[in-house]
Chain A
Amino acid sequence: MREVAVVSFAQSPCVPADREHDMAELVQPVVREALDAAGLDRDDVDFFASGSHDFFEGRTFSYIESLDAVGAWPPISESHVEMDAAWAFAEAWTWLQLGEGDVALVYGIGRGSLAVDLDQVMPAQLDPYLLAPLRPHRDALAGLQACAMVDAGLTSERHLAEVVARCLGAAIANPAAQRSGRVRVDDLLAKPYVAAPLREHDVAPQGDAAAVVVLAAGTAATRPAGRPAWVRGLDHRMETHYPGVRDLTRAGSAGMAAARAAEMAGFSAAEAEVAELHTEYSHQEPLLVTALGLGGAEVNPSGGPLAGRPATATGLVRIGEAARRIMDGGVGRAVAHATNGPALQHNLVCLLAAAPS
Chain B
Amino acid sequence: MSAALAVVGVGQSRQAKRREVTIGALVREAVDAALADAELGFADIDAVVLSKTPDLFDGVMNPELYLADAMGAVGLPVTRVFTGGSVGGHAAIFGAHLVAAGLARRVLVVAYSKESEGNFTWALSRGLPFSAHLGAGAGGHFAPVIREYIRRSRAPEHIGWKVVVNHRGNATRNPYAHIRRAGITLAEVRDSPMLWDPIRYLESCPSSDGSCAVVITGAELAARAPRPPAWIHGMAWRTETGHFAGRDEVNPRAGRDCAAEAYRQAGIADPAREIDVAELYIPYSWYEPMWLENVGLAEEHRGWRLVDDDRTAFGGDLPVNPSGGVLAGNPTGATGLLRFAEAALQVRGLAGEHQVDGARRAVGHAMGGASQFHALWVVGSEVPA
Contacts and interface: CB of A to CB of B under 8 A. Distances in A.
Interface string A60-73: 11011001100111
Interface stretch (B64-72, B204-212, B304-312): B64-72
A75 B253 contact: yes
Which one of A75, A124, A239 has the greatest number of beta carbons of chain B within 10 Å?
A: A75
A98 B236 CA distance: 13
A63 B74 CA distance: 28
Contacts of B73: 238
Contacts of A102: none
A266 interface: no
B110 interface: no
Contact of A82 (B82, B128, B254, B257): B82
A1 B102 contact: yes
Contacts of A124: 55, 59-61
Interface stretch (A9-17, A87-95, A289-297, A318-326): A87-95
A238 B78 CA distance: 7
Contacts, number: 171
A256 B75 CA distance: 8
Contacts of B94: 79, 91, 94
Interface string B241-283: 1111000000001100110000000000000000000000000
A33 interface: no
Contact of A71 (B90, B101, B241): B241
Contacts of B258: 75
B61 A125 contact: yes
B68 A90 contact: no
B64 A61 contact: no
A75 B254 contact: yes
A151 interface: no
Contact of B74 (A48, A128, A235, A239): A239
Contacts of A94: 94, 97-98, 101, 103
B79 A90 contact: yes
B79 to A, nearest CB: 6
Interface in A72-106: 72-83, 87, 90-91, 94-95, 97-99
Nearest to B369: A64
Contacts of B101: 1, 94-95, 97-98
Main secondary structure of the interface of A (DSSP, over half): mixed
Contacts of A121: 61
Which one of A79, A80, A95 has the greatest number of beta carbons of chain B within 10 Å?
A: A79
Interface in B46-62: 52, 54-62
Contacts of A74: 240, 253, 257
Contacts of A239: 68, 74-75
A340 interface: yes
Interface residues of A, number: 55
Contact of A59 (B52, B100, B117, B128): B128
B241 A68 contact: yes
Contact of B55 (A54, A73, A90): A54
Contact of A79 (B66, B81, B128, B244): B81
Contacts of A166: none
Contacts of A241: 65-69
B123 to A, nearest CB: 6
Tier of interface size on chain B: 35 or more
A127 B66 contact: yes
A151 to B, nearest CB: 25
B150 to A, nearest CB: 25
Contacts of B254: 75
Nearest to B22: A129
Interface in A199-244: 235-241
Nearest to A1: B102
A288 B55 CA distance: 29
A37 interface: no
B56 A60 contact: yes
Contacts of B126: 58-60
B82 A80 contact: yes
A195 B64 CA distance: 26
Contacts of A63: 82
Contacts of A176: none
B238 interface: yes
Nearest to B114: A128
Contacts of B84: 61, 64
A40 interface: no
B60 A238 contact: no
A54 B66 CA distance: 17
A124 B63 CA distance: 9
B76 interface: yes
Interface string A328-349: 0000000000001100011000
B323 to A, nearest CB: 25
A53 interface: yes
B230 to A, nearest CB: 20
B250 to A, nearest CB: 15
Nearest to A56: B61
Interface in B99-148: 100-103, 117, 123-124, 126, 128
A17 B97 CA distance: 38
A72 B239 contact: yes
Top 3 closest pairs, chain A to chain B, by CB = A97-B101, A75-B254, A82-B82
30 contacts: A48-B239, A59-B128, A60-B123, A64-B242, A64-B369, A72-B241, A75-B258, A76-B238, A77-B239, A78-B237, A79-B90, A94-B97, A95-B101, A97-B100, A97-B101, A98-B1, A99-B2, A125-B60, A127-B66, A128-B59, A128-B66, A235-B77, A237-B75, A238-B65, A238-B74, A238-B76, A238-B77, A239-B68, A256-B75, A340-B64
Given A73-B244, A80-B83, A82-B52, 19 more contacts: A76-B239, A79-B83, A80-B82, A81-B81, A94-B97, A94-B103, A95-B101, A98-B101, A99-B2, A121-B61, A125-B62, A238-B73, A238-B77, A239-B75, A241-B67, A253-B75, A340-B65, A345-B65, A345-B68
Interface of B: 1-2, 22-23, 52, 54-62, 64-69, 73-84, 90, 94, 97-98, 100-103, 117, 123-124, 126, 128, 236-244, 253-254, 257-258, 369, 372
